[in-house]
Amino acid sequence: MNKESLRRLLELRKEAESLPTELLSERNYEIYTGTEADEDRAEVYNELSAIRENKDKIIRKIIGFLNANVDEESVYHTQLSKITFRPKEGIFNIIHYKNNEAWRFDRTKLLNLLEILENEIREKMNLPKNYSESSIFSSGLFWTILPLFIGLSYFFGIYKAEFDKSETQKELNKAKFEIQNLKNKNILLKRKIDSLKASKKLQYN
């Protein structure tokens, strides 16, 4: 992958960031619950359909990018296939909070996945041309951390849920602690890369 690949990835990431943070906006919620008129509810349905169609279009572009730039068995394909923007528990009615919760969760997962891919491309571009492919990003440790990092991002979304606030705060604190540990591990991993780069330079000199 090269600068052109990075440029294209940044474009796709920008498109993904343009997706709304909520599927059902507060305005559409009020319209849907405040009237029984078919025309008003049809307007809400049409807007949600347009949002989902745009999301599907972006996902197809990302799949095309992955097909052109990474191996078919890459973890990126696997992780992307798990991002559905729909509740895992089943199908809910249009105004159920689970729809917005799933949308926010998977939007965050998608952005995290693209950010990790961007970081990998940048790191590989900075490595010497004859550097071995057995880098941090092909190591088992990195891909063990990845699913946990994506899962923990769930706790940073603001969502409507029906559970005790004190328990939620405990989970958030736990997640923040674990994310800090992940950051520390990433710092150590980056230092390893820097050390490898330095050793290569010394060999050339």
Q: Which residues of 124-158 are buried (b: 16+ CB within 10 A; e: fewer)?
A: beeeeeeeeeebebeeeebeebbeebbebbbbeee
Is the pLDDT score of 196 beyond 60? yes
Distances in Å between the Cα of 192 and the Cα atoms of 128, 137, 149, 169, 187 are 15, 12, 20, 35, 9
d(CA 49, CA 28): 13
Residue 188 exposed, middle or buried by CB count within 10 Å (0-12, 13-18, 19+): exposed
pLDDT at 168 (0 to 100) = 54
Tell me if residue 180 falls in helix, strand or coil: helix
Query: Mean pLDDT throughout 162-191?
Result: 65
pLDDT at 191 (0 to 100) = 75
Using alpha carbons, select from 155, 148, 156 the residue that is nearest to residue 183. Answer: 148
Q: Name the least confident of 35-39, 87-91, 111-115, 194-198.
A: 194-198
34 vs 19 pLDDT, higher one: 19
Query: Mean pLDDT throughout 176-203?
Result: 69
Using alpha carbons, select from 149, 51, 61 the residue that is nearest to residue 108. Answer: 149
d(CA 202, CA 43): 65
pLDDT at 19 (0 to 100) = 96
For the question of whether the overall pTM of this predicted structure is more than 0.85, the answer is no
Query: Mean pLDDT throughout 72-100?
Result: 89
Q: Name the least confident of 6-10, 70-74, 102-106, 200-204.
A: 200-204
Distances in Å between the Cα of 56 and the Cα atoms of 63, 84, 139, 160 are 10, 10, 31, 25
Is the pLDDT score of 189 beyond 90? no
77 vs 130 pLDDT, higher one: 77
Is the pLDDT score of 133 beyond 60? no
Question: For the chain, which residues make up each domain, given as ranges?
Answer: 3-204
**pLDDT tens digits along 108-117:** 999 999 999 9
Q: Name the least confident of 24-38, 121-135, 137-151, 152-166.
A: 152-166
Quickly list DSSP for 79-139: HHHT--SS-SS----TT-HHHHHHHHHHHHHHHHHHHHHHHHHHHHHHS-TT--S--GGGS
Is the pLDDT score of 143 beyond 60? no
pLDDT at 13 (0 to 100) = 96
Quickly list DSSP for 140-172: HHHHHHHHHHHHHGGGGS-----S-HHHHHHHH
136 vs 186 pLDDT, higher one: 186
